Amino acid sequence: MALSIQDEEILRTRIRPLVTPELLARARVCPYPPYDPDIAEVLDFVRRNPDPDRPRYLIVRLPDGFAVAVRSPAPGSPPAPVDEGRHPDRDAAEHAVLERRLRDYGVEW
């Protein structure tokens, strides 16, 4: 299931124009609410009803930091790390997930 026609239009007309290096820098500095309205709009879009055709990300705490992983399609199977990268704290990992989700939708900045 891909995005609906309405969501494709929202992505094209609202989300893509909002995503800039400046917006991502502000989102990195302020990882928790209250968010600026433009950051809230982008986060709401990428966090709502996950598209089953795109990866379902989660954050895994490891002895050497935090890693971004994807849920296994098989129930009961462990998540699979997306790469070898480690983040020093959960905030950095959450921001990495935001950037991955935007890339999944083809949004460049």
Those residues with Cβ within 8 angstroms of residue 105's Cβ, 6 or more apart along the chain or in another chain: 3, 11, 15, 46, 54
Those residues with Cβ within 8 angstroms of residue 58's Cβ, 6 or more apart along the chain or in another chain: 68, 69, 70, 71, 79
- What does the pLDDT look like over 37-80, one tens digit per residue? 999 999 999 988 767 788 899 999 999 999 999 998 888 999 99
Q: Provide the 3-class DSSP secondary structure of residue 57.
A: strand
Q: What are the extents of the domains in the chain?
A: 5-104
Task: Specify the pLDDT at position 1.
Answer: 56
Task: Specify the pLDDT at position 2.
Answer: 82
- What does the pLDDT look like over 10-48, one tens digit per residue? 999 999 999 999 999 999 998 889 999 999 999 999 988
CA distance 98 to 96: 5
CA distances from 72 to 19, 47, 103 (A): 29, 19, 20
Say if pTM beats, i.e. exceeds, 0.95: no
